Amino acid sequence: MPFHSIEEPSILKRLLEATLLIESNLELPEVLRRVLEEACSMTGARYGALGVLDEDKRTLAEFLTLGLSAEQERAIGPRPTGRGVLGLLIAEPEALRLRDISGHSARAGFPAGHPPMASFLGVPIKVRDEIYGNLYLTEKDGSAEFTEDDVAVTGALALAAGIAIENARLHERVRRSAVFEDRDRMARDLHDTVIQRLFGLGLTLQGMAARLPASAASQLEDLVSELDEVIAQVRSTIYELGMGDRSRGVRDDILAIVSELRDVVGFEAPVTFDGALDTLVTPQLREQLLAIVREALTNVGKHAHATRASVQVDVDENYCRLIISDNGVGMGVPSSATGGGLGLPNLRRRAEKLGGTFVVGDAPGRGTVLMWQVPLGR
């Protein structure tokens, strides 16, 4: 490729056009691909890649490539996540220009099926001090290494890519904010109208039961119990609405564990929540709570021979309470979990470590009920 100076009008014009892509109606992936194409074209790179970091800025969540055939892509396998020289650029986001990448001390080696590459240019994608990813170019045509002008051109294009990523994420935050407002309004409506009416209906039914014959009163009490379950489900929905699509919290982690253990348990247990878990549960308690859910459900799957189980997590200003019930073979006698197998002493120790209690015994009728409770103040 003939040498081009960054000061040439054609190069400046193309840089300007690439920057204007930010204001276009193109979706972010298409903008990033166009930036990558321009970077390869302006520098004479045979291969190019653009990596976008995840929210934690530790690994590559997205990885676009240019110059590889479909067969080469399949032969290489999974996209890189940020090891070797790519990882160095994540840890130290400064431009890196190498004559031969294989001679660098941080190299991790190429996977089988990867084409040979020597000359390398890596430039961070950042806006001010915010890092969004990196732009990688290899194998400069007609030259053994990339030039300082290539670094300047690629840096300008990387800035355009960074602004595009930043804009896209800001738009997404605005969209989520609007969704949160709608969800919060719906949650308030549910709490202020539906929940209160259900409570009122339950009290009315309980008052009627006292004036009815025993058989009719028993049926009415069953209806009240079902109504209590409906109220618990509505409460759970309220907190789900309040959380919206925000960052993953305790609720999401518990649901993920229950889903993960479906094959171990033999079925997926329904989960109900009451209280603001993601607000009141501390990181330390969260770790213990998740461990208890995992261990208790694993016990159900291995020892209970159950066909149904349920998980209930309640939180208020004072306590966090976990109740797991099943319809299995049961314990025989109630226990404070001071001994025995099934990992029960471990569950007790976790509760006592946090100043709480752990009790397990036979459920009414058939099965086992486990209650693990700790004070939030600890």
Q: What's the pLDDT at 232? A: 66
Between CA 365 and CA 363 the distance in angstroms is 6
Q: How are beta strands 271-274 and 309-315 bridged, if at all?
A: parallel
pTM of this prediction exceeds 0.75: no
Fold type of domain 247-378: Heat Shock Protein 90 (3.30.565)
Q: Which of 5-19, 220-234, 291-305, 329-343 has the lowest mean pLDDT?
A: 329-343
Which is higher by pLDDT, 248 or 83?
A: 83
Count, residues in the chain: 378
Q: What's the pLDDT at 334? A: 42
Residue 359 has pLDDT above 50, yes or no: yes
Which is higher by pLDDT, 235 or 215?
A: 215
Query: pLDDT category, 346, cuts 50, 70, 90?
Result: confident
Buried b vs exposed e over 200-218: b needs ≥16 C-beta within 10 Å? eebeeeeeebeeeeeeeee
Q: Do domains 9-173 and 247-378 have the same CATH topology?
A: no
**CB-facing half-sphere around the CA of 263: CA atoms within 13 A:** 1
Looking at every residue in the chain, the average pLDDT score rounds to 79
| Burial (CB count <10 Å: 0-12, 13-18, 19+), residue 127 | middle
Report pLDDT digits (tens) over 61-114: 888 999 988 888 888 877 777 777 888 888 888 999 999 988 887 776 777 778
Domain locations in the chain as residue ranges: 9-173, 247-378
Query: pLDDT category, 225, cuts 50, 70, 90?
Result: confident
Q: Which of 41-50, 64-73, 112-121, 331-340 has the lowest mean pLDDT?
A: 331-340
For the domain covering 9-173, report its CATH number: 3.30.450.40
Q: What's the pLDDT at 176? A: 66
Residue 7 has pLDDT above 80, yes or no: no
Residue 243 has pLDDT above 60, yes or no: no
Measured between alpha carbons, how far is residue 232 from residues 225, 228, 273, 297 in Å? Answer: 11, 6, 7, 21
Report pLDDT digits (tens) over 305-318: 899 999 999 988 88
Looking at this protein, which amino acid is placed at residue 91?
A: A
